[in-house]
Amino acid sequence: MDPGRTVRGVTEHTADRAVIVKRVDEGTATTDEIEQLAQSAGYHPVATITQTRTEDPAFHVGEGKADEIARCVAATDAGIVIFDNQLGPYQTFNLGNKLPEGAEILDRFRLILEIFGQRATTRPAQLQVELAELRYELPRAEAKASLAKREERPGFMGLGEYDESRERDIKARISRIRDELDSVQDDAKRRRETRRESGFDLVALAGYTNAGKSTLLRRLAVDHAVEENAEKHPDLPETAASEDRLFTTLETTTRRADIDRRDVLVTDTVGFISSLPHWLVESFRSTLDSVYRADLVLLVVDVSESVDAIHEKLVTAHDTLSERNEAPILTVLNKTDLIDDADLDRKRAALSALAPDPVAVSARTGDGVAALTDAIDDRLPDLVEERIVVPLSDDSMSVISWIHDNAHVTDVEYGEQAVVEFEAKPATIERARSKVQSLPAPGSV
């Protein structure tokens, strides 16, 4: 959409019709991402208005542009104005006074929180959304209380009574949610350790929203039925759906993948998005912990985008991951079906500093996925070769069966004893040895 241009022929309800606004300090404002976000939330952009200027403390945009926005809302019968910026309470109030009666205002972060709220279906996700909303609201409550006190009017600017008790209530709720999320995180940590002890390597999918992570997870998954793993891992949810909209995946989704000699669990997580403040990223710490605690991170990017866009997203993603991530990062250039080979080679060369030895795939068609599984196998921690002698007894087969389930068995010889040769992670080898040592001696009762 061009700045200020109205889209005709849209028949959605007034409340769903949105005017998109973006202000930048310099350069040219682009609105593609905020339009996608608005559509993901269920809104229908009918016009866009942009401005290049320094921020106005009263209206964010200039007052003349605020008047233009109000006229556009009236002309398009829009019910909401969505700013691809962060607005202060005073700016929101002043802009609201300009708009036709009934029209609402959302800034970028309130829109993102609304999308998160729509996607949250599990208790941990709902807690993370509530925490993000409270952390968003707290400085506004403090600002409104300060303004009200200064003006000696509890309801200053028509924003309701925001006093110290309101601030205390928000802080208390934040503390309670953090405690509950810490408990959830402890449970998740125990599950991860149980999986590792069972011989699983943990691989996390990271990257910007709409890069194709959920589609790639479905391509890597051994199957799409949960029942196969229900007994061993009852915490595994359904495989993530693949849809062309932002934030389809909010909760983490884990599936077993077929990676040659290994048992691998791949986890899809919420997608990154540009210009997220630290408080919002931190609110989803328990979700991102699946990335931070993985054995390998697959950083998925949409290679059909421009080199500049991919470069910017890679920089932001690496900055986010570098805070606590210790696992190696393998960049996956996804959506190769949307570009030709020459364009792929050009982008691969241009991004080599940030993405050395990337793997190019099309999760949609499956092209390149075999090379990706080989690369995953190469970059995961090395397996150790082991040879264990298992005394034959009534309980021996249960131990040998356990080794088959949790390691890559290369040979088994049966005689007076069973000799099992296999490859596994060191922790799995230690557990196998412990199980053999706990077997009763042959002939004992």
In the annotated binding site for GTP, the residues are: 207-214, 268-271, 334-337, 362-364
DSSP conformation letters of 58-113: TTBS-HHHHHHHHHHHHHHT-SEEEESS---HHHHHHHHHHSPTT-EEE-HHHHHH
Q: Hey, what are 277's tokens?
A: 């403040």
Type and span of the H or E element at 278: helix 278-283
Cα–Cα distance measured from residue 238 to residue 287, given in angstroms and rounded to the nearest whole number = 16
Type of residue found at 98? K
- Inter-residue long-range contacts of 188-195, CB under 8 Å, 24+ positions, other chains counted: 188/286, 188/289, 188/290, 189/289, 189/293, 191/233, 191/235, 192/290, 192/293, 195/233, 195/265
Residue in the block written with tokens 């509530």: 130
DSSP conformation letters of 346-406: HHHHHTTTTSSS-EE--TTT-TTHHHHHHHHHHHSPPPEEEEEEEE-STTHHHHHHHHHHH
Query: Which residues share a beta bridge with 266?
Result: 203, 255
The dihedrals phi and psi of 7, each to the nearest 5 degrees, come to: -90, 120
Reduced to 3 states (helix: H, G, I; strand: E, B; else coil), residue 309 is helix
Spatial CA neighbour of 22 closest among 108, 88, 113, 140: 108
Annotated binding site: 207-214, 249, 268-271, 334-337, 362-364
Cα–Cα distance measured from residue 377 to residue 410, given in angstroms and rounded to the nearest whole number = 17
Cα–Cα distance measured from residue 171 to residue 301, given in angstroms and rounded to the nearest whole number = 37
Query: Which residues share a beta bridge with 19?
Result: 47, 81
Cα–Cα distance measured from residue 360 to residue 370, given in angstroms and rounded to the nearest whole number = 11
Q: Hey, what are 392's tokens?
A: 């034959």
Alpha helices in 152-245 (DSSP H): 164-197, 213-220, 227-230
Q: Hey, what are 370's tokens?
A: 């075999």
Annotated binding site for Mg(2+): 214, 249
